[in-house]
Amino acid sequence: HRWGWWGRRFKSSLPDQKIDYYKKIFSIRIMLKSNFSHHLYGFTDLKSLNERGPTVLSHGKGIYVYDIHNKKYLDANSGLWNACAGFDHPGLVEVAQRQYSKFAGYHSLFGRLSEETLILSDKIIEVSPFDDGKVFFCNSGSEANDTAVKMLWMFNERKGYTNKRKIITRINAYHGVTLGATSMTGKPYIKEFGMPLKDFIHADCPHYWKYGLPKESEEDFSIRMAKNLEDLIIKEGPETIAGFFAEPVQGAGGVIPPSKNYFDLIQPVLKKYEIPMIADEVI
């Protein structure tokens, strides 16, 4: 028997529920020991991981998650900011079950789409600041940003602007993990992957409290950021710039709101050189 003497020893003294719990823990420990190197952990301190092992979570309830020992944690990040309604919201569970029993999902190729896709597209435009527009659904923010870059490049190719390919983002920005989105990310660690790729450049980070000069007001700092952006555009050549991407609030960079009047000051610069701005809005 798989459990051998271990299972027999505790069976007589523990209720079945407790035995099932210990069997589960024992099984997971065997799994971790044999497959510890089979799972690739993202954004993890490997030294600490090797010393203490991973935290294995079993379920979530509201804003809390629980590990396999039923220890309770407040998940202040809401997963990756994607569980803002909690991990077991009854309304979401009910809707998901109902939808999966009706139609689990469908693509939007060949002129086809699901009824729900049509309804959600209209709703997104309704609550957006735009009177009209198109909604393109993606699997992730990384894919969305890569798609936006591809669209810019496609438009320019169609117009004959074959040199208009450079993408400007900002230092400390985070835009994703795919090749294009990683190149857009303005973090030092992207160099570990040989990034950024060609045609991806980074402007200043509008973090006044970190990069403001002595006695420089917040508005003067924003004016300097706009001037530096224009200098960068001129240096690279306006005819080579396809677009400017920015998070309204830099999320992974530290939840950094822009300095006062920052976007009001850079918009005229971008408009002057006919450079579209794409908002990578997460927060």
Q: CA-to-CA distance for 173 and 175, rounded, in angstroms?
A: 7
Domain boundaries 4-81, corresponding CATH code? 3.90.1150.10
The pLDDT of residue 81: 85
Q: Which residues of 76-109 are buried (b: 16+ CB within 10 A; e: fewer)?
A: eeeeeeebeeebeeeeeeeeeeeeeeeeeeeeee
How many beta carbons lie within 10 A of that of residue 56, not counting itself?
13
The pLDDT of residue 196: 96
Let me know: does 205 contact 211? Beta carbons within 8 Å: yes
Q: CA-to-CA distance for 55 and 46, rounded, in angstroms?
A: 13
- CATH 3.40.640.10 intervals, the chain: 138-279
The token duo for 247 is 């998070």
- CATH 3.90.1150.10 intervals, the chain: 4-81
The pLDDT of residue 5: 43
The pLDDT of residue 138: 93
Which CATH class for the 138-279 domain?
alpha beta
Paired strand residues for 67: 57
Q: CA-to-CA distance for 186 and 170, rounded, in angstroms?
A: 6
Sheet holding 64-67, edge to edge: 57-61, 64-67, 72-74
Let me know: does 244 contact 213? Beta carbons within 8 Å: no
For the whole model, what pTM was predicted?
0.84
Let me know: does 233 contact 269? Beta carbons within 8 Å: yes
How many beta carbons lie within 10 A of that of residue 216, not counting itself?
13
Return the closest-CA partner of residue 178 out of 226, 146, 211.
Answer: 146
The token duo for 10 is 């505790």
First to last CA, the chain: 53
Q: CA-to-CA distance for 260 and 249, rounded, in angstroms?
A: 12
Sheet holding 200-203, edge to edge: 200-203, 166-170, 241-246, 277-279
Q: Which residues of 132-168 are buried (b: 16+ CB within 10 A; e: fewer)?
A: eeeeeeeeebbbbbbebbeebbeebeeeeeeebbbbb
Per-residue pLDDT of the chain (283 residues; tens, 9 = 90+): 444 444 544 445 556 666 566 566 666 665 666 555 677 888 889 888 888 888 889 999 999 999 988 999 999 989 988 899 999 999 999 999 999 999 998 999 999 999 999 999 999 999 999 899 999 999 999 999 999 999 999 999 999 999 999 999 999 999 999 999 999 999 999 999 999 999 999 999 999 999 999 999 999 999 999 999 999 999 999 999 999 999 999 988 889 999 999 999 999 999 999 999 999 987 6
